[in-house]
Structure 1
C-alpha cells in the first residue's frame, strides 16, 4: 500500500476477519505515516485496540529496519504500543521463533479481553478506605485521589487509625493494659477465631520472643482485624490501606493479622469470607495493583516488600504478613493453609510487639509480581511472572526471623529489575497475569513495562 486509499482498503479487509494482532510488514522502505494510518484505521474499523507487530526484514541493501523504526517512532508519539521484530525470517529460525512468541502473547492477551473489560467496568464501583495517613515518609505510598476518580472512577474515604482502636477496645474487657493482661471476650467473633486458631491448633504459635509473650497480644491483634473489617463494611470500602507504622506498631500492636486476613479468602475462624485487597503502610498504589489482580482472578492478591535479588532470584520478605492463601499451592484448600501459618513475635522495630503472620510459598508456582506507579505524575505499570523456588525455614534467619518469604526466579537480569521497578513495594498473585495486565493497562491508556517468561519486554509509553 502506497497511498491512503489503499491502506484503508487493505485494513478494511483485514479488520473483517477480526484478527488478534496486526502485523505491519516492512520489507523495504515504506512511508511511515501510511503504517501509522494503518494502525489507526484498524482501530477505527474494529472499534477496539490494536495489538501491533512491526516486522522489518533484514537486508542491509534496503531500508526495511529504517522503515520499521520510523513507523514505530510514529506510534510511540501517540502512545500506541507495538513489538518490533527484525531479521531474515526465511534464513534464521530464531526470528520466526521470536515472531511466534509475540503472536502467542497477543493471542493470550486477546483471549482475556472480555475478562479485562469486566474488570475495568468493575473499577468504577470500587471504594478505597485509608486507615491512617502516609507511613514512614514514603512518597510512593500516596496518590492523587482526584486522578483515581478521573482515570478509574474509584471513590475514596479516610479515617484516623484510632477508629480501629476505638472499636477494638469494645470487643474485649481487659483487666489491665490491652494486649498484656487477662481478658474477657465480648465479641463472639474473636472467641471463634481464638478457638479455631489457638485452642484447636490450626496454626503454630511461638511465644519465645519478648515481643509476643502470650496469647493476650494475639487477641488484641484479632480485635484490630475485626475492627478494620467492620469499618470496611460500614463505609462500603472494597479495598483499603492501613498505616500501622508507627502509631499502632509502637503503642498498641502491629496490625499484621488485619492485613493478612482482610486479603485472605478465609478468615481466622476458618470460614470463607469476602476478599478485601489491603496494603500495609497505607500504600495506595500497591492496594490498587492488588485490586486489579483480584478483579482479574477473584482470588487473593498480596502485598510484598523487595528484600533482595541475587543470581536471578527475587526475595519478597514482607514486614510481617502475607495472606495465608500463599502458604500453600495455588490449588490447595485455603482452609488447610491456615494450619501452615506460624505466629511468631515481631522484630524489634515495633515497640508494641505482636505476632507476625509467617509462612513460605512452595516451589514450582508461577506468581505475577506487579506495581502501578507514577512517573512524572503519569501512571504506568510494571509486571512480570516469577517461578517460585523452595524456601527453607532456616532462611528466615538470613532476613528477618518473623517475616514471611516468597522467592522466585525472575526473567530479567538482577540489576535491570532494580532499575525498572518503581519503588520498594509490589503486589503479587498466583498465575501468569501478564497478558491480563497488558490488556488492562492498554485499554485504560496507561503506560506499561511488562516482561514475559523469556524476559521479552512489552512496552507502552506512559
Structure 2
C-alpha cells in the first residue's frame, strides 16, 4: 500500500478479504492487518465469508468494489473541490444561536484543515441596510411603506402580484404583506453584504434577536441557497445556514461544490420505522419543492409563505414546501469528535409528503421524508448533532473520497447500508 501511494501519488482504497475456512486463520490475518491500519488512521473495508459457497459474500465484495470505483471516478472532481475550498470565505451574521455549541467552530482549525477564510458582522448591519431599502411610516414590517430599492419591488411583484407562490395571511404572525416586504429587504441587504465582502457561504443567527424583535430570516436563507431569486431570475448559489451553524454551512458548501446545485439546511426532526423526517424552523430552498430537473419557477410556484410559529414573537413568513417522493438525496454533517473533524453521511430515498403532515409537526415548516438504509437507532447514535445538510443524488462515494483526501475521520453509510469509516 505504501509503495502504491508513493508510486502513484494517490490515495489507496483498501479492501481486506478474509476467506472463511475453519482450518485456516483467514479472519485472524484480516483482523491483524486491519488493526495495524487502524492504528495509523488508514481506512479500509473488511469482507469476511466463504466466497465459494455463500453468494452474499460475492455480492458484498462487488458492492464495495462498485462503491470504491465511483469514488475513484470522482477523484478529479473531489480534488477540485478541495482546491476550491482555499478560495472560500464564510460570513457569520451574528454569534452563537440558542446556546448551541455545535453551531460554532474554531476558525483557526477551519483555516488549517480546509483553508477557509472567515468574516463576521453583527446582525444590526442587516437591519441598517434593509431599512434603507424601504421607507416605513412606523415600525418596519408593521406599517405603511414605500419601497425605495427596485429589487425589492421586483421581487414583491413577481412573488405576490404575479402569484408565484401561495400567501397565507390568516395567522397572527403574518397579517399582511408588510412583513414579506421587510423579509425581502433583509435578503437583498444580505446579498449586498455578500458581494461587498466577497463571501461564498454564510450563516445568519436569526434567533432570537431578529425573530423576537424584527422578523425571521427565513426568506433570506431560502433564497440565498436557491438557484433563482425571489424575482424569478437565475442567481449565484450562496450556501447559507440558519442559526449561524458554521459546520452545517460548510457541509452545504461541500455538497454544492460537488454538484453545482443548491444544498439545503435542516433539522434532524424524527426517525421512525426506517423513515427520516427533515424539517427546519422556517425554510427549505424552493429548489427542493420539486424534482431536480424541473423548471425552477414552477418550484417557486409551489412555495407557501405562511405565518411563523408562536416561538418567534416578531413573526414573519416561513417558506414552506414538500419534497416529492422517489428521489435519492444525500444527508451529511461535518462535526467534531473530541475536537477532531469527522464527516457523517448517508443516502435516503424520499417518499411523498401529504400536506396533512404539517398538522402533525409544525404547521408552517417545510418537510422532507426519506427511507434510510440503516436502523433508526444507529442513525440517531451516529449523527453528531441536531442539524444536517442535504442535496439531491447519492454523493456518499464522493464524500468518502473527500474525507479521505482531506485527512479527516468519517462514518458514511452507502445506499445498501454498508458503513465506510475512518477514525477521527
What's the TM-score once normalised by structure 2's chain length? 0.99
Matched ranges for 1:57-456 at <5 A: 57-456=19-418
The superposition leaves residues 325-347 of structure 1 with CA deviations (integer Å, 9 ceiling, x where unpaired) of 00001111112210000000000
Deviations 1:43-91 (A, max 9, x none): 1121100011000111112111001001001111111110000111111
Find the aligned partners of 2:297 and 2:254 in 1 and give their Cα distance: 24
Unaligned runs of 5+ in 1: 1-38
Q: Tell me, what secondary structure is at the counterpart of 1:97?
A: helix
User: 1:156: how far off?
Assistant: 0.3
How many residues matched? 424
Aligned mates of 2:259, 2:375 — CA distance in 1: 28
Higher relative contact order (CA 8 A, sep 6+): 2
Question: How far apart, CA to CA, are the structure 1 residues paired with 2:295 and 2:69?
Answer: 31
Q: Runs (4+) of structure 1 moved beyond 2 Å?
A: none
Distance in 1 between the 2:189 and 2:71 partners? 40
Q: Secondary structure at the match of 2:356?
A: helix
Report Cα offsets for 1:279-299 as digits up to 9, x if no partner. 000000000000000111110
Q: CA deviation at 1:106?
A: 0.5
TM-score normalised by length of structure 1: 0.91
Deviation at residue 411 of structure 1 after TM alignment: 0.5
Q: Is the 8 A contact 1:330 1:365 kept in 2?
A: no
Q: Distance in 2 between matches of 1:185 and 1:426?
A: 36
Deviations 1:12-50 (A, max 9, x none): xxxxxxxxxxxxxxxxxxxxxxxxxxx222111211000
Task: Determine helix, strand or coil for the equivalent of 1:393.
Answer: coil
RMSD over aligned Cα atoms:
0.5
In the alignment, the residues of structure 2 paired with residue 307 and residue 276 of structure 1 have an alpha-carbon distance, to the nearest angstrom, of: 24
Distance in 2 of aligned mates of 1:223 and 1:291: 24
Question: 1:371-399: per-residue Cα shift (whole Å, max 9, x none)?
Answer: 00000000000001000001000000000
Deviation at 1:436, TM superposition (A): 0.8
